[in-house]
Structure 1
Amino acid sequence: MRDNLVIIRVDGGICSQISFVALGSAFEAKGYEVQYDLSWFEEQGIGAYNPSNGYDKVYNVSFDIPKAFPTLPIKIAEKTEAKHYKRFYFANNDNIITFSPPLYVGGYLGRHFDGYFKELFRQHFIPKESEQRDTAFAKVKEEICSSMACGVHVRRGDLSGFHPVYGEPTALEYFTKAISLIESIQPESVFYIFSDDVKWVKQHFPPILKDRKYRICDVNTPSEGYLDLYLLSLCKNLIGSQGSLAMYAKLLSPHNPLLICPKIRDWLFKQEPNVMFVNWGEAMQLQPLELNSTISYSPPPHYLPKTNSDYGFIIA
């Protein structure tokens, strides 16, 4: 047992993984050593994306932080030590950052630090695929970078039916109106559609996008979400669904894109510039409910919450 060690259990897709590493970065800012327990990926990640969860095939969920952020230092916990810490030092608390090691962070509470460390993640967000040439991925990247691209994330898969946390799937009406809104702001928009259910998108989105320039992006599989995240982060504007991919694309974007997303997921960007939250589903209102800033494309200032004294440390 080491008095200065915090072990954090990681699970889920790339956005969830970023939030765990952001929490780990907050502990490191306090002077603690941080390691990550990846046992979930071996125990539950293999085949986690499958037809019973709304996917077309079986895909694995992998720890993709090293792929998405290859220059970001990450320490992996040794399995025996992780089990020991989990047994004796387990904690799951919304104020987890105030806890001291030895500590095993084993839940979802207290992951509030994505905004603190967005510059850190941006600096290291250079997946090897981003430097490739003459590939389908490279072609889509070139198109996005050379156009007034609006990335549209359509989360399906395990959210293609009712979900106890997320509710009903995002309605097609929401995407129709969000696309029209973006087009009214930027008439030259080209729409790039990303989804974990490309087949469904190809069936339902062409009528929405008629007479518009668009591309349904099918170069990545659901298990390569970090690559969709990268391409979305290059877009000038973003439309999100219940999932987090578009929101994290904004967090990682160098462009300060306008993000339109369902109001149900407003927790992460209440103080971020250029975010528009709207109602969605059958009762979706036509007008936006909240606009956090005027629309511009200049990089926003580094974001810090108004106070961080509750967390016991200062990040400059």
Structure 2
Amino acid sequence: MIITKLTGGLGNQLFQYAIGRNLIYINGSDLKLDVSEYDVSNKGNFRHYALDKFNTIQNFASKKETNNFKFGVFKKWLYKSGIVKNKNYFLEKKFNFDKEILKIKDNAFLQGYWQSEKYFIGIRDILLQEFSLKENIELKFGEILKEINESNSVSIHVRRGDYVKNPKNLSFHGVCSPKYYSESTSKIASLIEKPVFFVFSDDIEWVKENLNITFPVVYLSGIKNIKSYEELVLMSKCKHNIIANSSFSWWGAWLNTNQKKIVIAPKRWFNDVKLDTTDLIPENWIRI
């Protein structure tokens, strides 16, 4: 049994699921999800469990099962410092890819963000299937999908929301500038003919006021009743992608199955330049 702890929003959950899914594929074992982060008693967390909308394994670890592995805060510090060892508990120690993690055998607990395709690239076909929606998205967004399919569609994701409103998040993550989006749209336009940009954002009014996109634009965020997981899937249906420094749009681009896709990502993913993001962005994506 492999237990992977889920934390954060949809993008983070997809990474955490993906590494666990690969490890059970390698070991021929079972995957269980620790979703205790989203317990209703955890009033400080505004996120929610989101993988139930997808064709993912819905097998949840009990409190008793997770307690067999978990450390308290002090022991976690000792573990990260190398003072205490636990052969069955794996806490992410660094942001870049750690090849030793893929040597994990059965009976293990994973806690981290694991933001590199190197942790799961070998099961891409499985993830493409399991990260598809249970509901038929064409029934709700048939006209939009027709427009996406019949044009040289490019998704643009602009994340502000919690990055801007929370000073701690803003200091750590930062936000992509209008200059980044201007350079990215110009780059795409130099590589493909007649691009049509489909914009996704948690602050669509800011986008309209601050991004000067001189090509046809469709603003999808803000459509009545559109859900975040539906936006991610619609991003993935576009032929090309311009992503933000966000795991959410990272997955929108990664799940894009266009063999000739162009993906543009920001060079600076975090404000903290000491964090090594070398393994975060796939080699064939363009960084600006």
Give the TM-score, by structure 2 length: 0.76
Name the aligned partner's letter for residue 82 of structure 1: T
User: How far did 1:240 drift?
Assistant: 1.2
Contact 2:15 2:115 in 1 (8 A): no
Name the aligned partner's letter for residue 102 of structure 1: N
**CA deviation string 1:235-257 (max 9, x = no partner):** 11111121123332222112131
Map of 1:227-306 to 2, 5 A cutoff?
227-256=230-259, 257-265=261-269, 267-271=279-283, 273=284, 275-278=285-288
Contact 1:154 1:241 in 2 (8 A): yes
CA distance in 2, matches of 1:240, 1:151: 8
Contact 2:138 2:145 in 1 (8 A): no
CA distance in 1, matches of 2:226, 2:62: 25
User: How far did 1:101 drift?
Assistant: 4.3
**Counterpart check, 1:217 vs 2:203:** no
CA distance in 2, matches of 1:6, 1:163: 34
Contact 1:38 1:76 in 2 (8 A): yes
**Counterpart check, 1:92 vs 2:91:** yes
Contact 1:14 1:64 in 2 (8 A): yes
Name the aligned partner's letter for residue 75 of structure 1: N
Match of 1:30 among 27, 37, 40: 27
SS of the residue corresponding to residue 175 of structure 2 reads: coil
CA separation of 1:165 and 1:30: change in aligned 2, threshold 3 A: farther
**Counterpart check, 1:14 vs 2:14:** no
CA separation of 1:44 and 1:126: change in aligned 2, threshold 3 A: same
Contact 1:115 1:251 in 2 (8 A): no
Map of 1:1-316 to 2, 5 A cutoff?
5-28=1-24, 29-42=26-39, 48=45, 60-68=46-54, 70=55, 72-87=56-71, 90-93=89-92, 94=98, 95-108=100-113, 112-133=118-139, 135=140, 137-160=141-164, 163-166=170-173, 168-205=174-211, 208-210=212-214, 212-219=215-222, 224-256=227-259, 257-265=261-269, 267-271=279-283, 273=284, 275-278=285-288
User: How far did 1:115 drift?
Assistant: 2.2
CA separation of 1:43 and 1:223: change in aligned 2, threshold 3 A: farther
User: How far did 1:132 drift?
Assistant: 4.3
Contact 1:92 1:109 in 2 (8 A): no
CA distance in 2, matches of 1:114, 1:263: 23
Give the TM-score, by structure 1 length: 0.70
Name the aligned partner's letter for residue 34 of structure 1: L
CA separation of 1:101 and 1:254: change in aligned 2, threshold 3 A: closer
CA distance in 2, matches of 1:61, 1:223: 17
Gaps of 5+ in 2: 72-85, 93-97, 270-277
Name the aligned partner's letter for residue 36 of structure 2: S
**CA deviation string 1:246-301 (max 9, x = no partner):** 33222211213100111234533343x3x1112xxxxxxxxxxxxxxxxxxxxxxx
Contact 2:235 2:249 in 1 (8 A): yes
Name the aligned partner's letter for residue 25 of structure 1: R
CA separation of 1:228 and 1:44: change in aligned 2, threshold 3 A: farther
User: How far did 1:192 drift?
Assistant: 0.5
Percent of aligned pairs sharing the same letter: 23
Name the aligned partner's letter for residue 42 of structure 1: D
CA separation of 1:277 and 1:45: change in aligned 2, threshold 3 A: farther
Name the aligned partner's letter for residue 153 of structure 1: H
Contact 2:155 2:200 in 1 (8 A): yes
Contact 2:184 2:264 in 1 (8 A): yes
User: How far did 1:125 drift?
Assistant: 3.5
User: How far did 1:221 drift?
Assistant: 8.8
CA separation of 1:253 and 1:270: change in aligned 2, threshold 3 A: closer
Q: How many residue pairs end up in the alignment?
A: 253
User: How far did 1:107 drift?
Assistant: 2.7
Name the aligned partner's letter for residue 139 of structure 1: E
User: How far did 1:149 drift?
Assistant: 0.6
CA separation of 1:67 and 1:43: change in aligned 2, threshold 3 A: same
CA separation of 1:7 and 1:234: change in aligned 2, threshold 3 A: same
RMSD (Å) for aligned C-alpha atoms: 2.9
